[in-house]
Amino acid sequence: MPSVPPRRLIAHLDMDAFYASVELLRYPDLRGLPVVIGGGRRHQPETLPDGSRRYARLADYAGRGVITTSTYEARALGVHSAMGVMKAAVLAPQAILLPVDFEQYRAYSRRFKAAVAELAPVIEDRGVDEIYIDLTHLPGAQDAVGHDPLGGARAIAREIKNNVQRSTGLTCSIGVTPNKLLSKIASELDKPDGLTVLTLDDLPTRVWPLAARKVNGIGPKAAAKLTGLGIHTVGDIARCERAWLVEQFGRSYGAWLHDAAWGRDERPVVTESEPVSMSRETTFERDLHAVRDKARLSALFTELCTELAQDLSRKGYLSQTIGIKLRFDDFRIVTRDLTLPAPTSDAQAIRRAAGECLKRVDLSRRLRLLGVRGGKLMRQAAVDARPPSPARRALPPRAAEPEPTYNLPLFEPLADADS
């Protein structure tokens, strides 16, 4: 008799309020208080002579900053990630404001992923605070425990949670289901410190009552269109005919909506994936002017290029396409790219290429955001292993419509910036 293939058991692990939780390890006296992460260096806590600390408050904040994350106590007051800090200050003026510390968050990210890998090595990295884990073939994962047919998978997920907490002092939430789409939803259902195990039989009670936006892949525009059609929940989508959804949303997305609502997702857990790009960007606390704030913008621009170069070098990549991203005071976003003759991770080369991109942007309006991006990434080791290319006669460039260039003096020349 042919053997029955094991049922898929995919877990999604999401760290609970990750950045904020890391800060609470450093400042345990803030536990139980509304805390917001998103300040700048000037919002560093001040240690007083008696050993106590003085913290910045949202009520005293002035600027353009955006919240990176917040504790659950702050979320209960309506303060959420991506919200402007000034808006958050209206909702929770006495909330504590802390600066972001990405180096610390990356260190804890590495620690929690190593703790998971000790027990379940088939991991798909989805960012600094979340991963997918394939439990399907782990010893005991398919076992029933008492009357619980998924008791083995539940026990492994609980041990993963315990190992993460032992290694980091932090809690996480895990959803275990037959696929990635449902596990992403499940990990959010019982936060914080949750463990949720679902089968397809649980769709009507646990998933269909949720708002359609809870499905990863239904963004604001699709949700608005669904609402306009009288569709508000995942269950509302599931009750729609597949052909009707295709008619309304197109063949690919309409079919995907139907599959998602019925919990169908065959994507594998991908253990190795190459990044498409790396970037660094910053949002200014106040709008900066191309001429009046030239010195500050120049320093920030060079710092972003240097940080991008360090990111590339640390992760073993080179970039052949350097780009910039600008957001102006009217919220218009402009991007420009430049492809280099050879890939690089050199800070000066990146700074020079990004500067060339800036010459192709009209900078007469004030700026809210500045970013630098490295695309067309290649592994340093792969580039080093290439055989020398035979000399070829260069072909003349194909004629193209020239882009206008602007001579507004936004940034100092490279030599001045690096001196």
Report which secondary-structure segment, H or E, holds 281.
Answer: strand 278-288
Q: What is the mean pLDDT of residues 108-119?
A: 96
Confidence at residue 109, expressed as pLDDT on a 0 to 100 scale: 96
The domain 17-100 having CATH identifier 3.40.1170.60: the answer here is yes
Domain pair 208-264 / 278-384+403-418, same fold? no
Contact predicate 338/403, CB 8 Å: no
Residue 407 has pLDDT above 70, yes or no: no
Average pLDDT over the chain, rounded to an integer: 89
CATH of domain 278-384+403-418: 3.30.1490.100
Backbone angles phi, psi at 205, to 5 degrees: -95, -30
CATH of domain 208-264: 1.10.150.20
- Who has greater pLDDT, 295 or 235? 235
Side-chain-facing half-sphere of 37: CA atoms under 13 Å = 20
Q: pLDDT by residue (tens digit) across 114-146?
A: 999 999 999 999 989 999 999 999 999 999 999
- Who has greater pLDDT, 83 or 65? 83
In whole angstroms, what is the distance from residue 223 CA to residue 38 CA? 28
- Structure-token pair, residue 162: 């315990």
Q: pLDDT by residue (tens digit) across 224-236?
A: 999 999 999 999 9
How is the chain split into domains, by residue range? 17-100, 208-264, 278-384+403-418
Total residues found in the chain within this entry = 419
In whole angstroms, what is the distance from residue 177 CA to residue 187 CA? 10
Report which secondary-structure segment, H or E, holds 43.
Answer: none
Neighbours of 264 (CB within 10 A): 14
Confidence at residue 417, expressed as pLDDT on a 0 to 100 scale: 38
Q: pLDDT by residue (tens digit) across 269-278?
A: 998 777 788 9
3-class DSSP state of 12: strand
- Structure-token pair, residue 315: 């992760």
Confidence at residue 411, expressed as pLDDT on a 0 to 100 scale: 57
Compute the chain's Rg from CA coordinates. Answer: 25
Residue 400 has pLDDT above 70, yes or no: no
Indicate the pLDDT class of residue 203, thresholds 50, 70 and 90. Answer: very high
Confidence at residue 403, expressed as pLDDT on a 0 to 100 scale: 59
- Who has greater pLDDT, 276 or 153? 153
Q: Which residue has the tokens 């609470």?
A: 24
Report yes or no on whether pTM surpasses 0.85.
Answer: no
Cite the active site residues: 130
Q: Which residue has the tokens 């990990």?
A: 187
Residue 344 has pLDDT above 50, yes or no: yes
Indicate the pLDDT class of residue 418, thresholds 50, 70 and 90. Answer: very low
Confidence at residue 275, expressed as pLDDT on a 0 to 100 scale: 79
Residue 280 has pLDDT above 80, yes or no: yes
Q: Which residue has the tokens 């397809």?
A: 200
Highest mean pLDDT pick, 42-46, 58-62, 133-137:
133-137
Indicate the pLDDT class of residue 261, thresholds 50, 70 and 90. Answer: very high
- Structure-token pair, residue 303: 């710092």
- Structure-token pair, residue 257: 């909506």
Confidence at residue 285, expressed as pLDDT on a 0 to 100 scale: 78
% of the chain surpassing 70 pLDDT: 91
Q: pLDDT by residue (tens digit) across 300-340?
A: 999 999 999 999 999 899 999 999 999 998 888 999 999 99
- Structure-token pair, residue 3: 């053997």
Instruction: Write the CA distances from 230 to 16, 36, 217, 237, 390, integer angstroms.
Output: 33, 36, 19, 10, 63
Contact predicate 207/234, CB 8 Å: yes
Nearest partner of 186 among 199, 196, 200, judged by Cα: 196
Confidence at residue 40, expressed as pLDDT on a 0 to 100 scale: 79
- Who has greater pLDDT, 391 or 138? 138
Confidence at residue 413, expressed as pLDDT on a 0 to 100 scale: 44
Contact predicate 174/196, CB 8 Å: yes
Indicate the pLDDT class of residue 252, thresholds 50, 70 and 90. Answer: very high
% of the chain surpassing 90 pLDDT: 74
Report which secondary-structure segment, H or E, holds 20.
Answer: helix 18-26
**Vertex 251: Cα angle to 246 and 257 (nearest 5):** 60
Q: What is the mean pLDDT of residues 57-67?
A: 85
Q: pLDDT by residue (tens digit) across 74-102?
A: 999 999 888 888 899 999 999 999 998 98
- Who has greater pLDDT, 131 or 414? 131
Q: What is the mean pLDDT of residues 276-294?
A: 88
Contact predicate 326/369, CB 8 Å: yes
Q: What is the mean pLDDT of residues 51-72?
A: 88
Contact predicate 48/13, CB 8 Å: no
Contact predicate 219/257, CB 8 Å: no
Listing DSSP states for 107-156 in one string gives: HHHHHHHHHHHTT---EEE-SSSEEEEE-TTSTTTT--BTTBTTHHHHHH
331: left (phi over 0), alpha (psi -120 to 50) or beta: left
